[in-house]
Amino acid sequence: MIEVEGLTKRYGAKLAVDRLTFRVRPGIVTGFLGPNGAGKSTTMRMMLGLDRPTAGDVRIDGRRYENLQDPLKYIGALLDAKGVHGGRSAFHHLLCLAQSNGIPKSRVHEVLHAVGLTAVARRKAKGFSLGMGQRLGIAGALLGDPRILMFDEPVNGLDPEGIHWIRNLMKSLAAQGRTVFVSSHLMSEMALTADHLVVIGQGRLLADTSMADFIQHNSHSYVRIRTPQPERLLDVLDEAGIKAFRAGGGTLEVDGGKAERIGELAAEHRIVLHELSPQQASLEEAFMRLTAGSVEYHAQGGTPPTGWKKG
């Protein structure tokens, strides 16, 4: 369990983290979401004792990070996959970490195997691809067999196979009863991995909710219809008590999952349909609405940003 209480970080005039209070519970994957610059990395750095809070407190299983003996055995983290000495081999990098944390050498072999790096364990880390670097960073996080794991944007830049692997790894770590806290700026990614969401924007807490609740409240389903006889269909639907809206481009939309009923009514009245498709509003859109007021850097131009990358 991680408990964050009134956590605040100020860099000069910039309030990077603003009185955050939330808990990260064991046995589930908790997604930590927010646009670029929201304060996710700063929060994680404070959780790990790498940055000193301006105010507030973080407790790891009831204790401050600096009071943990052999902290790698309590909490493992992947913050920056490039934070590895490039001249060292994967094996030596992990061995150094293990030796300075009272972890046996046998564990190095175990984690190399777990992340699939055994075959390249003696190669220098500077020759590693991005995906291999992420795997090595994750091996370091797993080294102390900690009950709590923290990953900052672990899928950034990975190929689909790597993304799939990390997703499954996080889920299996949570299924073992561990606390798993993972940051991302992509809702679509979190929707596939996280059971719980903590959303921040400009350092402030915007939502602390289960994934299921977030989906239920934000992913509304509707049916899209295209027909060369929209007036007739509107009349028929109206008679049947089904409310339809014109959605532009010659399409109609009906809230909810009534596709079968609409198809039956159209057939009964011999109305031609060119499209009858159930649709789901995207969670990414809901997430962008939630954080709209707190995006630090908007894309230039007339249309709203499609992603949250700076510049």
Ligand X SMILES: Nc1ncnc2c1ncn2[C@@H]1O[C@H](COP(=O)(O)OP(=O)(O)OP(=O)(O)O)[C@@H](O)[C@H]1O
**Residues near ligand X (CB under 6 A):** 11, 14, 16, 34, 36-42, 185, 296
By C-beta, is 38 or 191 nearer to ligand X? 38
Report which DSSP code applies to 305.
Answer: P
Interior angle at CA 239, CA 237 and CA 240, nearest 5:
65
CB of 38 or CB of 77, closer to ligand X: 38
In the complex, the smallest distance separating the C-beta of residue 269 from ligand X, rounded to whole angstroms, is: 53
Q: Between residues 97 and 194, which has the closer beta carbon with respect to ligand X? A: 194
Shortest approach of ligand X to residue 48 CB, angstroms? 13
How many angstroms separate the CA atoms of 21 and 200, rounded?
A: 11
Q: DSSP letter for 214, please.
A: H
Contact 284, 186 (CB under 8 A): yes
| φ, ψ of residue 60 in degrees (nearest 5) | -105, 115
Instruction: Find the shortest distance in angstroms from Cβ 154 to ligand X.
Output: 13
Shortest distance, position 231 Cβ to ligand X, whole Å: 49
CB-wise, 153 or 173, nearer to ligand X?
153
Min dist. Cβ of residue 11 to ligand X (A): 3
Please measure the distance between the N-terminal and C-terminal CA atoms of the chain and give it in whole angstroms: 36
Residue 80: strand, helix, or coil: coil
Of 221, 219, 230, 238, nearest to 275 (Cα)?
230
Pairwise CA distance, residues 292 & 64, whole Å? 34
Quote the CA–CA distance of 138 and 133 in Å, as a whole number: 9
- Least Å distance between CB 173 and ligand X? 22
Query: What letter does residue 255 receive in the DSSP assignment?
Result: E
Return the number of the residue (156 or 218) whose C-beta is nearest ligand X: 156
Minimum CB distance to ligand X, residue 287 (Å) = 14
Query: In the complex with ligand X, which residue's Cβ is closer, 34 or 144?
Result: 34
Nearer to ligand X, 42 or 193 (CB): 42
For 176, 178, 182, 194, 301, the CA distances from 28, given in Å and listed in that order, are 9, 7, 11, 8, 40
